[in-house]
Structures are given as C-alpha cells and as structure tokens.
A and B are shown apart, each in its own frame.
Chain A
Amino acid sequence: MAKHKLISITELQQKKQHTMWVGQQEVLAVFTSQGVRVYSGMCPHQGGPLGEGKFENDKVTCPWHGCEFELSQGGCTDIGACRNVSGMHLKALEFSEESGHIYVEAP
C-alpha cells in the first residue's frame, strides 16, 4: 500500500467534491458539513460514477440509477430506480490529512 496525495483541503472546501483514479481504485473525496469524507467513487449498486452525480445537502445521487447516499456515514437513503436491492453503503476509504492535503492509502 502506498500513500497518494488527493487534493488540498482548501481546494476541496471550494469544490466540495473531488474524484480521481488511484491505481485500480476510483476515489471520491467530499467536504461535508461534518468534515472531510473519502469513499470509493464507484456506486456500490453497479459501479456508477458518483463523482458525476448530483451533490446536495450532504447527499449524492448516482447518475445511472438514482441511488442516493448520505455522505457523513455513507448509508443509502433512496434506491432510486433500482430494483431488488437493499443495505447498500458507500465504501469508506482510509485517509489522512497532512500539511493541508488529503492522502489516501491504495495499492
């Protein structure tokens, strides 16, 4: 595992969200009212691009099927147009804040 620099906290505060691929992992960093959170950028349903979704009120909606997740804990709050799924949760990634930047651990 190596440490990868994602984005500065100041920039994330302005952009609110930032997505990038780190090796085989797509990483989504968000600045919520609860602070910084880092998740996999792949919607747990079928891998949709959460970074291209709608961000509003500390929630993100996947543009593929409309699954909605709250961003402080990652829980699914609405399954949108999905069928026969329950218990979805965003995959939280280990991260650290150093010298004003966010780092994530990835292979």
Chain B
Amino acid sequence: MNASLPTPEAPAGHYNFKHTIVNIAPVSRPIVLWNLLDFSHVNWVHRRNYKYCKVLAESNLTTLLEYGVRMFFFLGLPYSSALLMWHEYVPPGIVRHISRSPWGTYTKVEMVLEESSTPDGVQTQLTHHYATHLPFFLLPFKRLFIWYIEAWSERLWQEDSGMLLRRQRVLQAGFKDHPADVVPRAAEGFLA
C-alpha cells in the first residue's frame, strides 16, 4: 500500500513534559531497527505491556497502528486502553511515533539510533526522546511520571534485548528469514 499517511501534529504548546531515556545494545543498527519496525512481535514478546498491536494501514515508511495498552502494567491489572499510533521511519537512523490517547492527549517519541565501534565489535545507542501532555493536576507528580515512563521502558527493553542478541547470533550463524509473500495477505485494517 502506498497511500500517503502524514503524521498528525499536536496543537502548539501541547507538550508540557519531556524525558529522555538512553539504551545501548551490543548489536548493529540494522538489528535494532528490525526490532523497532517489527510490530508483530509486540503481540507476543510484549504481552505484559500491550494486550494487542494491530496494523491498520501502512505506506512505505509510515504505519498506522492500534495498540491495546496495559496502562496499569505495574499493578499487573489486565485493563487495557486502545490507543492510535502513527509510526514513522526516517532513514537511516530515526524512528518516531506519535500516539493519541482516548482522552485526546498526544505522546510523541523520537528514537535516534547511533551505531559505534567498540573493542568487542559494534554497539548501537538508542535514545528515546519522550514528550507528552500532563493535565494540570498531574503536574506536581512529574517525578512519579518519570518513574512510570522509565519502568515501562525498562520492561520493554529487557524483553527486546534478548531478541536483539539472539537475532544477531542467528544472522551470524547464517540464518535467512523466511521470504515474505509477493502478494501481501495481511488484512488487518480498514485500508487492507
């Protein structure tokens, strides 16, 4: 599908909370990118944080997704809330997404991937720049919100790290992915 999927813009001055998280993985940038652009694994690997992840529509670099977000993951509650996300890959090393909550606030995340050499080989630094809107009554609790974002991110990163290391190992062992069908058979979304 090559329909244009421009990412939405939040109203000016919307973002009143920003936070940055840095992760480093001892793998190459294409492997981290593979993980960031693989939405299917969210349904399995990240089941503790997401009830589901559905691709609604996609163009070459942008994907419109619906996520069932387990907002109270830290309490182990099964409740999830549907969230729309526009996910965009900006070659060669930026992935950004913007999501809209059911109550109308936006959250924007820009992920910058930087590969560098190490004595042992290569590593990729993944920097997440978060920006969101906190309602006025939550503004005094910014520290709590930082804890929430970091706990959320750490949990996902722990789950992804194992995937990244294994992906690198199997590729180094000569593994080749099963080829994708020439005619796409996905029919998940309204444009499919």
A and B assemble together = yes
Interface residues of A (CB under 8 A from B): 24-26, 42, 44-49, 62-66, 80-88
Is there a chain A Cβ closer than 8 Å to B178's Cβ? yes
Q: How far is the CB of A1 from chain B (nearest CB, A)?
A: 15
Interchain CB contact under 8 A, B173 and A86 = no
Interface residues of B (CB under 8 A from A): 38, 40-45, 53, 55, 163, 166-167, 170-175, 177-181, 184-186, 188
Interchain CB contact under 8 A, A84 and B167 = no
Interchain CB contact under 8 A, A86 and B177 = no
- Measured between beta carbons, the chain A residues less than 8 angstroms from B178 are 44-46, 85, 87-88
CB-based A-B contact count at 8 angstroms: 66
- Measured between beta carbons, the chain B residues less than 8 angstroms from A81 are 40-44, 53
Which 5 interchain pairs have the tightest Cβ spacing?
A: A47-B170, A24-B173, A81-B43, A81-B40, A83-B186
Interchain CB contact under 8 A, A49 and B180 = no
- Measured between beta carbons, the chain B residues less than 8 angstroms from A80 are 40, 43-44
Report the separation of the CA atoms of residues A42 and B175 in the bound assembly, to the nearest whole angstrom: 8
Report the separation of the CA atoms of residues A44 and B175 in the bound assembly, to the nearest whole angstrom: 9
Interchain CB contact under 8 A, A47 and B44 = no
Q: Write the chain A residue with the least CB distance to B188.
A: A83
Q: How far is the CB of B17 from chain A (nearest CB, A)?
A: 32
Interchain CB contact under 8 A, A86 and B185 = yes
Interchain CB contact under 8 A, B44 and A65 = yes
Most buried by B among A25, A45, A47, A82: A47
- Measured between beta carbons, the chain B residues less than 8 angstroms from A46 are 38, 167, 177-178
Given A49-B166, A85-B181: A65 and B171 interface contact (C-beta under 8 Å): no
Specify which of B38, B45, B181 is in contact with A84 (CB 8 Å cutoff). Answer: B181
Q: How far is the CB of A7 from chain B (nearest CB, A)?
A: 21
